[in-house]
Amino acid sequence: TNVALITATVSFLVEPFAKHLGITDLISPHMEIKYGKYTGAISGPGCMKEGKVTCLNAWLKANKLYSTFITFY
């Protein structure tokens, strides 16, 4: 069984929570960093609304998993 946490919250905020729960697969946006500082922009695709499905499908493909049974809440 694979458990992934997918959220629109930026990764540096939710990563400690995921680790505390023992979740190793975190699907969330990353903050852009330039010259060692956060710019305030999101780097890569966002995980909001329909973007969650896009991010999930990319994760499934990267991990060679199939979406035969997925639970969201």
What are the beta bridge partners of residue 70?
Answer: none
Per-residue pLDDT band at 2 (split at 50, 70, 90): confident
pLDDT, tens only, 8-51: 999 999 999 999 999 989 999 999 999 999 999 998 778 888 88
**Entry pTM:** 0.79
* pLDDT tens digits along 52-66: 889 988 988 998 888
Q: Is residue 45 classed as helix, strand or coil in its secondary structure?
A: coil
**pLDDT at res. 73:** 64
